[in-house]
Chain A
Amino acid sequence: MDTILRATAGYFILLLVVRVLARRAGSQMTLFEFVLVFLIGGVIILATLGPDRSVTNCTCAVIAVASLHRFVSWAKSRSPRIGAIVDGTPIVIVQGGEWREDVLKGMGVRREGVVAAARMHGIGSSSDIQYAVLERNGGITVMTRS
């Protein structure tokens, strides 16, 4: 019982922390962010299991977390609002060639990151970027002037 409650608390605390961290923690994970994810994950594991390190307890914790994840996924599929809260919405960084500074600041995204994404799309100059969209998964989609 305790394990299920601790796993539930741990899951939602972790979800909140990861959500309020910069979105790019998802797909463009740097070594620095790997350290963060593993450290937070390790700390949550300690709190979830408590002093009971038995196979039974670990199995219950894993099943509880998996079930919670399934439940949140189901809730996301049923409600776009929950999807937006959990995953966020795509957001335009460059619109019609104009950089949206408030979005860059709000999302903690640097221009260099967008230009790097543009290079991956074969775009050599930032002046060629017509639209750049920060996707839910942290990836940046770049479109050029047609």
Chain B
Amino acid sequence: MTRESFLNPVEDSVPKVDDEIAVGEDLDFQRRWWRFEKLVWTVFLIVIVCDLAGLFGRGWLAKAEASTPDRALIVDYERIERANTPSTMTLRFGPAAIRNGHVQFHVSDAVVRDLGAQRIAPQPSTSTPGRGGISYVVPVTAAPAAVQIQLQPAAPGRYTFKIQLADAAPITRRVLVLP
């Protein structure tokens, strides 16, 4: 393999153009660089398309929905989050979830600790820690009803959260938090 001309120190050995002008040009290196630039711009274009589609969060592909079989609880969340960026998880309750004017649900610690739950709206009437999470009771008049949890993950990673209505099977999902 020939030694690239730009490796030569800047002195009389600097490659001359037409044996006249000492420039130190290396057209082979430059052509390789142009190919690299094309590759980089292709990657940039892919990044933009992925971002527009929501593959890096905050978009169509990032939004997800999970529900219990009877749709008593529907969770709207983002499967791809970004660290230190606010987002909202919405819990929608059907008629089967409402008992005696209340809904009672349990969220795992991951929602608070890993996904960084900042606040819950409306304010629950009771919040009880235990069973690896927090149980909330929220007064509800009639279905449909919704509770919103404001999230702001502190650190990147892959986290599993659980949300469960009282006496029902839990909804378990994973969230990827990007840096």
Contacts and interface: CB of A to CB of B under 8 A. Distances in A.
B84 A51 contact: yes
Given A20-B37, A20-B41, A84-B6, A50 B25 contact: no
A131 B17 contact: yes
A83 B30 CA distance: 13
A91 B25 contact: yes
Interface string A95-134: 1100000010010000000000000000000000001010
20 contacts: A20-B40, A20-B41, A51-B84, A80-B8, A81-B6, A83-B6, A84-B29, A88-B33, A89-B26, A89-B29, A89-B30, A90-B24, A90-B25, A91-B27, A91-B30, A92-B21, A95-B17, A131-B17, A133-B23, A133-B25
B18 to A, nearest CB: 6
Contacts of A131: 17, 20-21
Interface string A3-44: 000000000000010001000000000000000000000000
A143 interface: yes
Interface in A48-84: 50-51, 80-81, 83-84
A16 B40 CA distance: 9
A81 B5 CA distance: 10
In this complex, the member of A89, A131, A143 whose beta carbon has the largest number of chain B beta carbons within 10 angstroms is A89
B21 A143 contact: yes
Contacts of A106: 30-31, 34
Given A16-B40, A88-B33, A133 B21 contact: yes
